[in-house]
């Protein structure tokens, strides 16, 4: 049993290859965290660079320990987030699986995803000697207060002033509206793709979502995600019409609600193959894979596993 690859996987590779090529030609580059409002950068024709994505790429290439060692030799703790450790390490190494990233004109960190990025980007600011803007978002425990909204609202205007000063460019209201509209359409298209997993059998797995998430992260605000995810949805709809699932004879679904384990994606696929191949010898298979207790009870009740993601909440 193997994972059924989507045709759109190749399209995604072409799109991302073009994205990386854009970086080499861009006049202004902003290194940005994955949860930051990239729409403001695209509205000002600024090329966004994502060190976190680069860290994931390093992990997928199984070179994390190599680049982490460069950071650790500079005094960064092994307990530090591996995304940050890999990225900082590859800066000191001077290379990466794709030859490194184009140097930044400025840095933009938003702590709506984690607090590590603030210190991480402070380190990068000192290394590259470029300005850093940190967008601070308050933690919303219960209700979203008006004071929270105003706090972020005012910072966004400060960030626009920061961008105009650093780049010498002015923000166009019409270009910003166009970019935000593209962002909304792109996020909706991506959400529709993930909702396809509601079908039984599901036409996609979490591996499809992992592999094809790059456009909505790196190119949100452009037309690329809109067209790409519309095409991906069409392919998934073809599978649904044929009654074809991402795995044969789907019986049990395992919900993956976390970031991908980039350096072990192949292991997850091999896990599925080993378990599926056991057939009637499921008990021996579980013994071999060292799975016990409640997890074993769950897996013993189905021979065909399907990993999928929850609906994206953007």
Per-residue pLDDT tens digits for 141-186: 889 999 999 999 999 999 999 999 999 999 999 999 999 999 999 9
Cβ atoms of 306 and 245 closer than 8 Å: yes
Beta bridge partners of 55: none
In the predicted model, is pLDDT for residue 308 greater than 50?
A: no
Q: Predicted confidence band at 223 (pLDDT cuts at 50, 70, 90)?
A: very high
Question: Is residue 284 very low, low, confident or very high in pLDDT (cuts 50, 70, 90)?
Answer: very low
The pLDDT score that the predictor gives to residue 54 is 85
Q: Which two tokens stand for residue 239?
A: 């599978």
Average pLDDT score over residue span 10-25: 89
Task: Assign 270 a pLDDT band (cuts: 50, 70, 90).
Answer: low
Q: Which two tokens stand for residue 84?
A: 């940050």
pLDDT at 245 over 60: yes
pLDDT in the model for residue 294: 45
C-beta neighbour count of 93 within 10 angstroms: 16
Average pLDDT rounded to a whole number, residues 263-280: 56
- Label each residue of 42-86 as H, E or C: HHCCCEEECHHHHHHHHHHCCCHHHHHHHHHHCCCCCCCCHHHHH
Between these two residues, 43 and 56, which has the higher pLDDT value? Answer: 43
Greater model confidence, 290 or 223: 223
For residue 40, the model assigns a pLDDT of 97
Do residues 117 and 135 make contact, with C-beta atoms less than 8 angstroms apart? Answer: no
Res 272: pLDDT: 59
Please compute the mean of the pLDDT values over residues 125-135 and round it to a whole number: 97
Element (H, E) at 109: strand 106-110
State the average pLDDT for the chain. 84
Phi, psi torsion values for 162, nearest 5 degrees: -60, -50
What is the structure's pLDDT at 230?
Answer: 97
Give the tens place of pLDDT for each residue, 80-115.
888 899 999 999 998 888 888 889 999 999 999 888
Please state, in angstroms and rounded to a whole number, the distance separating the CA atoms of residues 295 and 197.
23
pLDDT of residue 296: 43
Q: Is 26 helix (H, G, I), strand (E, B) or coil?
A: coil
**Which carries the bigger pLDDT value, residue 139 or residue 298?**
139
Q: Is 280 exposed, middle or buried (0-12, 13-18, 19+ CB in 10 A)?
A: exposed
pLDDT of residue 314: 35
Q: Given pLDDT bands bounded at 50, 70 and 90, which one contains residue 259?
A: confident
Range 29-168: architecture per CATH: 3-Layer(aba) Sandwich (3.40)
Residue boundaries of the structural domains of the chain: 29-168, 179-242, 252-308
57-82 pLDDT tens trace: 888 888 989 999 999 999 999 998 88
Q: Which residues contact 84 (CB under 8 A, 6 or more apart)?
A: 55, 71, 76, 116, 117, 120
pLDDT tier at 303, thresholds 50, 70, 90: very low
Residue-level pLDDT at 300 = 43
């Amino acid at each position: 049993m193997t994972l059924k690859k989507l045709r759109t996987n190749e399209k995604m590779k072409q799109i991302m290859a073009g994205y990386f090529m854009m970086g080499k030609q861009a006049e202004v580059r902003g290194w940005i965290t994955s949860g930051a409002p990239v729409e403001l950068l695209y509205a000002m024709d600024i090329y966004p660079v994502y060190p976190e994505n680069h860290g994931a790429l390093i992990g997928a290439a199984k070179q994390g320990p190599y680049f982490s060692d460069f950071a650790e030799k500079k005094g960064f703790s092994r307990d530090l987030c591996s995304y940050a450790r890999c990225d900082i390490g590859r800066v000191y190494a001077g290379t990466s699986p794709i030859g490194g990233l184009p140097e930044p004109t400025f840095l933009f960190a938003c702590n709506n995803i984690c607090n590590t990025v603030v210190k991480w980007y402070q380190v990068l600011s000192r290394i590259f000697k470029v300005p850093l803007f940190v967008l601070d978002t308050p933690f919303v425990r219960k209700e979203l207060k008006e004071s929270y909204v105003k706090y972020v609202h005012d910072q966004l205007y400060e960030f626009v002033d920061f961008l105009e000063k650093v780049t010498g460019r002015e923000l166009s209201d019409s270009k910003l509206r166009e970019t935000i509209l593209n962002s909304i359409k792109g996020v909706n298209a991506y959400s529709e793709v993930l909702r396809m997993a509601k079908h039984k059998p599901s036409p996609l797995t979490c591996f499809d979502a992992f592999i094809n998430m790059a456009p909505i992260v790196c190119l949100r605000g452009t037309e690329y995600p809109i067209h790409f995810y519309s095409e991906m949805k069409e392919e998934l709809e073809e599978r649904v019409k044929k009654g074809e699932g991402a795995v044969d004879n789907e019986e049990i679904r395992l919900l993956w609600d976390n970031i991908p384990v980039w350096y072990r994606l192949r292991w997850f696929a091999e896990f599925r193959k080993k378990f599926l191949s056991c057939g009637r010898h499921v008990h021996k298979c579980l013994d071999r894979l060292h799975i016990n207790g409640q997890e074993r009870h769950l897996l013993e009740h189905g021979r065909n596993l399907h990993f999928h993601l929850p609906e994206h909440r953007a």
